[in-house]
Structure 1
Amino acid sequence: MTRIDATFARLKADGKKAFVSYIMAGDPDVETSLAVMKGLPGAGVDIIELGLPFTDPMADGATIQLAGQRALEGGMTLDKTLQLVRDFRAGDTDTPIVLMGYYNPIYSRGVDTFLAQAREAGIDGLIVVDLPPEEDDELCIPAQKAGLNFIRLATPTTDDKRLPKVLQNTSGFVYYVSITGITGAAAAQATDVGPEVARIKAQTDIPVIVGFGIRTPETSREIASVADGCVVGSAIVAEIAAGKSVDQVLAFVSGLAAGAHSA
C-alpha cells in the first residue's frame, strides 16, 4: 500500500473527501516553493501534486505554463525537483506526493534511473500527461513495479469504449478532467461532473478525483460532493504568481481544502 492508498483509506474511514493541491516546483524560486509545499499539509492538503517544469507543456493553460517558465528561468531542473522532495520529506514522511509532468525529462534521464531516484526522494505517484495507455510498457508498468502509483486522466471525451483502456493499469486515483481544453479554463459544474464520475466509478474501485475549473471553496465543496475529492492547481499557482506571501497562499489553500472537506 502506497501513501496515496493509505490516505484514501483514512479519508474513507473518516467519511471525508480528499483535497489535492498542485504547485509548480521552483516557482517563483526554490525557497518559496519549498516553504509553500511544507505548509500545504497544515492548510488541509491531503495529497500534493508537484509540477515538473518542462519547456513544452502542451496540456497546460497560461497560468501553469508561466509558472513552469519562471521555474526554468530560475534554473529549476529534474535533479532540483527531486531535491525539493527530499527537503520536504525531511519534515513530513506521511503526505503523498505525485509528480506531474511530461515524459521527455524522464526519458532523457532513463526510466529505471528516474524511478529509482523518484522512490529514493520520496515520490509516491506519477501523472505523465503525454503517455497514452498504449504506451504503458514505457513507464506505467515499470513505475508500478517500482512501487509508484501511476495516475491516469479521464476526460469528458473518454467514452465507454475508451474508458476500460484508460483504467486498466491506473492506480492511486483516477484524475477526472472536468472540462475539455487546457488547465485553468472554464469553471467546473457539479451537475456536469456528477454523472461522469458515476460512469467511471461503475467501472473501477479506484477513487475518482476531479480537477480543472475549481477556484473557490464553494466550487471545491460542490465538486467534492459528487466525487472522492477535488484538485486545485491554476488558482493556487495564480496566487503565487500575484506575489502573495507564503502565509497568504496557504490561507487561500486552507479555504479550498475546507470546502472539499465539508462535502
Structure 2
Amino acid sequence: MTNRIDTNRIEARFQKCRQEGRAALVTYVMAGDPDPETSLDVLKSLPGAGADIVEFGLPFTDPMADGPAIQAAGLRALKQGQDLAGTLALIRRFRDEDASTPVILMGYFNPIFIYGVERFLVDAKAAGVDGLIVVDLPPEEDDELCLPALQAGLAFIRLATPTTDDKRLPAVLENTAGFVYYVSITGITGMATPDFGKVSTAVERIKRHTPLPVVVGFGVKSGAHAASVAQGADGVVVGSALIDALKGTLDENDRATSRTVEAVTTLVKDLAAGVRSVSKKAAA
C-alpha cells in the first residue's frame, strides 16, 4: 500500500543528522507533568539542549508498557487536569516558537477514541504534530487509526521488540512511516538496561526489512548509554531517565521548583554529547 504522508520534518531531521555523521537524539516527556506550564517550558527547552525529535506523552489512567516513572508522571499530569485537548494546545504553543523540530505524540488509543479519531487527526495535524506512537494498536487494527493517520499526513510509528521475529516483522512494518522504534528490552519502560552489544545486530535485522531509520529506546539513562546505542542505531530514545530527573526536583506536593527545567536540560545535554561523540560518517 502506498500512502502520501507528510513526514517532511521527520525526514529532514534524520537527513540533517546523517549529514552531520551522527545518530539522532529522541527525548520523551509527559504532557502536563508536573503542570501544563512547566511541561511546556520543558518541551521548549529540549531542542536547545540537543534533542533532535521530541515525543510528548499522552497521560492515560491505565498504561500497559510504562514503568513506574512514566506512570507516575501521567498521574501527576492527570491530577492537573491534563487531557488530549490540552496537550494539543501545548503543542500549538510550542509551534509558535519552533517550526522545525518533529513532535511525536505517544500514548494509548483510548483517549484518542474518546476524543474522536477524525476530529483528533484534524486537530493534531493543525497543532503541528508530525507522528503518532500508539502502543496498544497492533497491525491487525490498522483501520482504527494507522491508515486514517497516514491519509491525514501523520506518520504512524511502530514498535518492534526483541520478540518480533522475521515472520512478524513485515506486518509490523507494512504501514510504518517516519521511523521504526526498536524496544531494546522486553518488559516495561525504565526497569532494565539493554544489552548494548545486541543492539546493532537487532537494528541490522530490522533494516533488512525497511529503508526507514531505526531508533532504539528503553533503558538508556546516561550519555555513555546513549553513545553505546548510537554506534548501531539511527537514533537513541530517552524517556524514563528524563522523567526521573524532573521528579527529583519537585517539592513535597509534586510541584515544580526553580530547578525543574534545568534538571531535564542538563541530562539532555549529557545525552546529546554522548550521541554526538559517535561518528557515523563511514556508514552515512
Per the TM superposition, whether the score is higher than 0.5 is yes
Structure 1 residues 61-210: aligned runs within 5 Å: 61-210=67-216
Q: Give the whole-Å Cα distance in 2 for the aligned partners of 1:34 and 1:139.
A: 26
- The answer for the alignment partner of 2:275 in structure 1 is 260
Equivalence for 2:11? 5
Q: Secondary structure at the match of 1:40?
A: helix
CA distance in 1, matches of 2:57, 2:68: 14
Q: Determine the C-alpha separation between the residues in 2 that align with 1:177 and 1:208.
A: 10
Distance in structure 2 (CA, Å) of the matches to 1:75 and 1:109 = 15
2:242 corresponding residue in structure 1? 236
- Paired residues of 1:189 and 1:223 also in contact (CA < 8 A): no
* Displacement over 4 Å in runs of 4+: none
The CA distance in 2 between the partners of 1:70 and 1:2, in whole Å, is 33
Q: 1:38 pairs with 29, 34, 44, which one?
A: 44
Give deviations 1:73-123, integer Å, cap 9, x for gaps. 111011110011011011000000000000011111111110000001110
Q: Is the 8 A contact 1:2 1:147 kept in 2?
A: no
Aligned partner of 1:245 in structure 2 is: 260
C-alpha separation between the residues in 2 aligned to 1:188 and 1:221?
A: 13
What amino acid is aligned across from residue 42 of structure 1 in structure 2? G
Which amino acid in 2 is paired with 1:122?
A: G
Q: CA RMSD in A?
A: 0.8
Q: CA deviation at 1:245?
A: 2.4
| Partner SS, residue 213 of structure 1 | coil
Q: Which structure 2 residue ranges, 5 or more long, are not aligned? A: 1-6, 250-258, 279-284
Separation (CA, whole Å) in 1 of partners of 2:54 and 2:162: 24
Q: Answer yes or no: is the 8 Å Cα contact 1:98–1:123 preserved in 2.
A: yes
Q: Distance in 1 between matches of 2:260 and 2:121?
A: 34
Aligned partners of 1:35, 1:172: CA distance in 2, in Å? 26
* Count of aligned pairs: 263
Amino acid in structure 2 at the alignment position of 1:247: E
- 3-state SS, counterpart of residue 219 of structure 1: helix
Does 9-18 or 152-161 show the bigger shift? 9-18
**Taking structure 2 as the reference length, what is the TM-score of the superposition?**
0.91
Q: Distance in 1 between matches of 2:224 and 2:54?
A: 21
1:248 deviation in Å? Answer: 2.4
Alpha-carbon distance in 1 for matches of 2:69, 2:56 = 15
8 Å contact kept, 2:160–2:182: yes
CA distance in 1, matches of 2:211, 2:122: 28
CA distance in 2, matches of 1:179, 1:226: 15
- Which one-letter code corresponds to 1:120 in the other structure? A
Q: Structure 1 residue 185: deviation in Å? A: 1.3
Identity, in percent, stands at 59
* Cα distance in structure 1, aligned partners of 2:78 and 2:181: 26
Aligned partner letter, 1:136: D
Which deviates further from its counterpart, 44-53 or 182-191? Answer: 182-191
Q: Distance in 2 between matches of 1:140 and 1:236?
A: 28
Q: Unaligned stretches of 5+ in structure 1?
A: none
Please tell me whether the aligned partners of residues 50 and 99 of structure 1 are also in contact (alpha carbons under 8 angstroms). yes
Instruction: Give how far 1:222 is off.
Output: 0.5
